[in-house]
Structure 1
């Protein structure tokens, strides 16, 4: 949802990641949105949320356009389940998640551990763990913590890193991978 020319390299990297998968994708920057129009350009995200019991399976992008109702569904699905707080989700993060999922060639939905976090939830988690950032991208709707039963943390980490789209954290002992649309960086073991 955020447009910035400084992110064009990241967005080009995402294009490469999508092109390497079964989904053919146009870059997300607006002046190139029509690049692959007519080429079957779709993006689909599948997730489950064990804390709420909800599932999501939606096509959120077709032919260079985000689908407004699907974006609303994603935003609500990725809410802070502890407070029921909803915040706009940065679709660059969803694009990274989708590209990584496609690279792993799985049909299994992601298990969403954490999407948006309210300031109250983030503060509570920080009080329990040193691994929670004070200014977490979760607070801005720009991050997701994800798990797949059929893929290891290392496999998920490598797929997300191959996107060159943002931050990727590997949390092997907790069995999840963090993906965000911030600067390209990595951490964890």
Structure 2
């Protein structure tokens, strides 16, 4: 048995370096789907909720088609937990979340802090914090606030920004990243 010499470069290290520098390279990809194309014929998402105790881990796209049953499961999971109201989540946001998770090379599921918000919930949160937008994309099912224990908010934000497919808000003080499928923009909260 011969011992193989290691170059010292790991797949994880390469992906980390890519995620850190991908913002400058990203213009070659028009949206998150560009990053997902290299993932094969499937797209998947894994999340859990500390508020409801629920988990979802599903393949929601196979060979160019969204799977309606899996999409329904995601919609219910990402509902407004305060009112139990669910709507059709914008699949572009799910694609951004999935692509970002792939770029971070982790098997850890997202902790979903907020997906869909009813107008009533959004108004209540707005009364508590000026950081909540009156016309939030959460109300339209186009945004998610997410956390990972194994990745920093900077790593998460860099991965989402690399997709060049929507808005990315980094809330380091609260330890979460906002991802949406609205106009491409970034901010810190």
Normalising by the residue count of structure 2, what TM-score does the alignment of the two structures yield?
A: 0.83
Q: Bigger radius of gyration, 1 or 2?
A: 2
Partner in structure 1 of residue 66 of structure 2: 66
Q: Is the 8 A contact 1:10 1:165 kept in 2?
A: no
Q: Which runs of 5+ in 1 are unaligned?
A: 1-8, 25-40
Give the 5 Å matches for 1:57-96: 57-96=57-96
Give the 5 Å matches for 1:120-139: 120-139=120-139
In structure 1, C-alpha distance between the alignment counterparts of 2:70 and 2:85, rounded to whole Å = 18
In structure 2, C-alpha distance between the alignment counterparts of 1:13 and 1:140, rounded to whole Å = 20
Q: Is the 8 A contact 2:36 2:43 kept in 1?
A: no
Identify which of structures 1 and 2 has the higher relative contact order when contacts are C-alpha pairs closer than 8 Å and 6+ apart.
Answer: 2
Q: Deviations over 1:131-171 (max 9, x none)?
A: 10000000000000000000000000000000001000000
- Give the length in aligned residue pairs: 163
Deviation at 1:14, TM superposition (A): 1.9
Normalising by the residue count of structure 1, what TM-score does the alignment of the two structures yield?
A: 0.83
Partner in structure 1 of residue 21 of structure 2: none
Partner in structure 2 of residue 149 of structure 1: 149
**Residue 16 in 1 paired to residue 34 in 2?**
yes
Deviation at 1:12, TM superposition (A): 3.1
Q: Which runs of 5+ in 2 are unaligned?
A: 1-26
Deviation at 1:17, TM superposition (A): 2.2
